Amino acid sequence: MFETMHVRSGRPWLLDDHLDRMAGSAARLDLDLPPRAELVGLADTLCAQWPAGTEGALKIICTRGPEDGDGITCYGTLTAVPDSTHAVRRNGLRLGTLNLGLASDARSAAPWLLGGAKTLSYAMNMACQRWAAAAGLDDVLWVSSDGYLLEAPTSTLVWLEHRTLYTVPQATGILSGTTARWLLDHVDALGWHAGERMVRQDELERASGVWLTSSVRGIVAVRELDGVKFTEPAPTETLRDLLGFQA
């Protein structure tokens, strides 16, 4: 399993939330993580030399290795935020939908499908993003077989309707987005409410703003979905400021 964090002012943002999620992934994989202090130490060591004024992407990876191996290996990397991330923050995203083949309630009843776990098994996630690139798009949004929008391969869907910021319920088996969760916990500062609900594509087209959130990109406006242009969402800057990201 792995976690990727935004490094700002020389520190990983939301480190505790990410390590909580990693503990949840480990439980779903029947894997014992090292003591939390060890993972915090790994993050500290990597961040120690990082220039305070520079954004970074910190990745912590823990793996069992071969199924018959015992123990667990954890390591980390810290890299600069690529130019493409800055470009997408400015320009927003053109998305296409891809059917995930699973019903929106399939994973809640089937823990062996590992819904909600952030494992290293990302072949399909990456195949979907390559599909997007080949179609001249920036990313994809997964749709359940019963027609609900779920999440993107590496980010979380949030949208605004009548001063309520929504995301998709966990019961669909999506990954719990740390950035989205923090945002929903703090939108009362803007006088908004936070909500969770299932959403269909035609409903999303009528929202007053649609975004993807993720740890390193922060919050990025969705400008197009399956060829339908979305209104430029007025509050993108406000939400990005609230989250503490630069454009």
User: How far separated are the first and last CA of the chain, in Å rounded?
Assistant: 29
Q: From 5-13, 34-42, 50-58, 112-120, give the range in contact with a second copy by CB under 8 A.
A: 112-120
- On whether the CB atoms of residues 246 and 55 are closer than 8 A, the answer is yes
- On whether the CB atoms of residues 175 and 133 are closer than 8 A, the answer is no
What is the smallest separation between the CB atom of 48 and a second copy, expressed in angstroms? 23
What is the smallest separation between the CB atom of 195 and a second copy, expressed in angstroms? 26
Q: Which two tokens stand for residue 186?
A: 């703090």
What is the smallest separation between the CB atom of 140 and a second copy, expressed in angstroms? 8
When asked if residue 87 is in the footprint of a second copy (CB under 8 A), the reply is no
CA distance 244 to 239: 9
Q: From 24-32, 181-189, 200-208, 221-229, give the range in contact with a second copy by CB under 8 A.
A: 24-32
33, 98, 183, 210: residue in contact with a second copy (rule CB under 8 A): 98
Pairing of strands 218-225, 209-214: antiparallel
Burial class (CB in 10 A: 0-12, 13-18, 19+), 99: exposed
Closer Cβ to a second copy, 112 or 189, answer by number: 112
Tell me which residue has tokens 């894997």: 31
CA distance 23 to 191: 33
Site string for a second copy, 115-144 (x = CB under 8 A): --x-xxxxxx-xxxxxx--------x----
Binding residue count for a second copy, defined by CB under 8 A: 33
Closer Cβ to a second copy, 67 or 202, answer by number: 67
15, 26, 88, 102: residue in contact with a second copy (rule CB under 8 A): 102
Q: For residue 81, what are the CA distances in angstroms to 120, 123, 193?
A: 21, 22, 31
Q: Would you tell me which residues interact with a second copy (CB under 8 A)?
A: 28-30, 67, 98-103, 106-107, 109-114, 117, 119-124, 126-131, 140, 145
